Structure 1
C-alpha cells in the first residue's frame, strides 16, 4: 500500500502557515486535546480566516481521526484518515480511499482464488462482480454481465440472490438450478451496511458433471443376478452362506426391511437384488445408492430430491419397489432417522461393512461371510465367472489348470467376491486359449502367501519401527533367529 507523506503541525501554528505546509506533503497532522486531526492536500483551500490552526479546527467542527496501534484494533471511524501510532509517534496514515482500494484488491484476489463462481450485486440486483469461474461455469463473460441486472441473464423468479435482497435471508449449501443447463450448490448472504441491505454476494459450486454422472450410473446399474431364479446366482455351499441365503429367501417373501452386513466386495448388493427380484415387488423398481460415493453435502438431496423436486430423489424413484442403501453407516444419523420414517411406499434394504446400530424398524439382519472363510466356494465361483465372461467377450476360456486352481484357493481374497470376479474378467479379456493358467493371473497372486509366522514378524517390526532387537524381544526369540526367519520369508 502506498505511504502518505505527512508533517506534524503544532495547534498554535497560524492556519495560513499550515496551509502552506500542505504544498510539500500529502497531509498535515495536528494533535490537540488528546485527539489527532488530519487535513489532506486537496482540503488546503478550506483553511481560511485568521488565527491558529487549532482555533480553525474548533470553528469548523473538524472531525478527529482514529488512532490505532494495530490492524483491527479499536473502533475505527473511516470518515477521516486513520493513523497507525507506535511508541515513537505516527507510523503511517491510511485514507478511506486507500482502504477501499486495499479491501477491493483483497476481495478480487479471494474471489479469483476459490474454485466456485462468485457473484456480487447491488440493492437493485445489478452485477458488480463476476469472477473467472462464473464466466467458465455459465458461459457469460464479465463484459456482458457486469452493470446488467442479474435477472436479465437468468430466470428472475429462480434467483436465490433476488430472495436474499428482498428478505435478507442467508443461504447455505442449497441446491439451485439457475438455468436449464447448470446444477449448483449455492451459498448467499446479504451485504448489510448500517442495518440496511446494500447488496448480496453468492458463491456457487458447480455439480453439473456430478449430476450427469449420477444419471449415467443410475441408468447403467449392473444386474448381478438372474431375474428368473435370483438366488441361484449366489454360488456357494458354505453352511454360514447357506443360512444367510435361507434367511434372505424368507425375508424376500415377507417384504421385510433388511440390513445386510459383510466385508466390502462380499456381495451385499447382489444379495439385495436377489431379495428384491424374489419377492412380490420384482416388477417394481430396484434403486440403489451407495453413501460412500456420494459427497456428504449431496446425500440428503440424492435421497429426498434436489430443491423442491422430490421426483429427483432416490426415495421417490424407488416408490412401490426396493431402495437399496449401501454403506449406510456413512449416512449421518439424522438422515437415517428421516429415511426410516419415510419408507411407507418403498421396501428398504440397507448394507454396511462396519458395525452400526440401526433403528428398530430394521426387522432382520443378514451377514454374508467373507470369501476367505468359504474356500470351498472359490472354484465354483471361478467356473461361474468364466462362463459369464467367456460369453461376454466371445472368448472360450472355460476351464482352469490345477496350478492356477491351487493359487485361487490359497489366495486370501481381501476384496472378496468382487475381487475374484474382477480377476476372472481380466484373465478372460487379456488371456488366450481355452484354459486359465498361472501365467494369466495378476503378479500379486503369483507371489507365495505369507504364513502366520511371517505376518507376526512383519507386525512386530512395524510396532518397533524396524528395530530388530526390540522386535525379537517382542516375539520372544533371539535376534539371530529373527534374522534367519526374515531371510526365509523374504522380509
Structure 2
C-alpha cells in the first residue's frame, strides 16, 4: 500500500555526521584524539573487510595504546542515501546494535546516522501522517471503522457517528461486538480476505454497501478496516419505485381491458378506406376465439395484423407464439409443433422439450406461411384443432391445450387443394374467418403516411435529422408498384435515410428501379406527351393532387407532407390551375 503515498523520508533526510575510515593499526589513543575534535560522528574501522563503527562513548575513560579493534563491537549497517526510512528501520531492527552508515552511489562512506535526530524526524513524519489521516476521515462521505487484533475500535469517523448514532468517544477502545452483530469486518480480518461493494444491513432500517479488508504488517494481520456507503435512501426510493411500478402495471392492465382495441391496432398504419375497413373487421373478430386466415402478398403485414388481433383479445396476457412453416425442415415439423419426450430420438434432450402448442397454451399460435406445411403434418394439425390435444413425439399420454390459432399465407390455397397439396378439411377449419390484406399498390393513399413514419423511425435509429422529402421522391413512391409491399417500402426508406447527408431526401438518392419506373410512368401518360418541361409540370401537379386527396384537402397538412412552405403551395396551386379550396 506504500505505493499510494509518499510520507516516509529517505535516509538522506536524516542528519548524519562525518565518519573517518581507519585500519586495524590505529590505537585507542589515536582514536580518542580523532573523536575529541568534535568533527566526526564516529570512526569506521575495517578489519579483514569487515566494518565496525566506534563512537566516542565507546572510548570514554579508556587509556593505553592497545589496538582500537579491541573496543570495536558495533557492526556497520551500510545504506544508500535514497533508501526510504521505513526500509532503513526494518533493517536496523534486525541488528539493533548496528550503526547506520550512509554511502554514496559508489559505496563510499559519507557519515553515520545520529539516532537522536532520527527520532525527531520520525516523530515529525508520524505527526504529518496523523494529520492527513484526520483530514481524510473528516472529508470522506463514507463511514470508516478500524479495529485492532483484539476487535477494539481504533478508527470511527464523523460519518459513522452520523449513520449509527454512536459518538467516537463512546466507541473508541471498545470492542466492536458491544455495538453490532453480524460483522463483516471481523470475518474479513480472521479469514484474511477482502470484500468489495457487498450489500449489508448492519442495523434495522440501515442499508449500506460495505468494503472490508484485513490490515496487515508484513504477513501478520494486525486489525481490520471497513468502508461503508450509506444507500438507505436509495433502497427506500427503489422500494417506493417498485410499489409504484406495480401500481402502474395494474393500471396498464385495466387500461388495456377498457381500451384494448384502440391500443392493439394503433400500430397498423393506413387511412385508406380498404385499410380502415380491414381494421374494423379485425377488431370485431379479435374478441372471439374464431380461427382466422390472413391472406395477402408477402410484405403486407400479416404478422403485425395477427399480433394486433391477439393483443386485442382476452388472451393478450398470455403468449403469442409465431411459427414460420416455411423455415422448418419436414423431418423436424412434428417435434417443433408438438415437442418430444426425453430420448425420443437420437440427439434428443434427455429432459424432453415442449413444442410450440404447449408454449402457446392459453394464448395464440400464429402459423405463418401455413401453405408450406407438409401434407402429412396437416392431418395432425387438423386433429389438434378439432380435439385440443396431441401426443408428444415418443409420448404415450395426450397433452391438452387451449390455444387460439391464427394462420397466414400468400399462396392460392384453393389451387393447392385441387392439386392435392393442401387438405380441404384443414382449409375449412382454418378459414372460419378470412381477412384479405390489400397490397400496397391498391392503397397508394397510405404511402405518404407510411413514408413519414419510416423516416422518423430510421432517423432516430441512425441519429439523422431529416425534415423534408423532395416532391419527386414522393412521386416515385406513389407511382411505383411495390411488389414487396410495405416491407419493400420500409427497406427503401431506410436506404434513403442512410444515404441522405443533409435534411432533405433528394431524388438522386432513389434507387435506379424507382427512378426508371417513375420516368416510364410519366412519359407514357397522355398529359405528358410533350416536351420535358411538360413532363415535370404534370408530375408536380399529379403529386400535389394525390397529396391533397390523401390529407382530405387540408392545405397546411399537404404543405407539410410535401416539405414546402404553405405560401409556396398556394403559389403552385394558382400556377397549375388547381382550386385553392374545395
TM over 0.5: no
TM-score class normalised by the smaller sequence = 0.3 to 0.5
Structure exhibiting the larger radius of gyration computed from Cα positions: 2
TM-score computed with the length of structure 1 as normaliser: 0.44
TM-score computed with the length of structure 2 as normaliser: 0.37
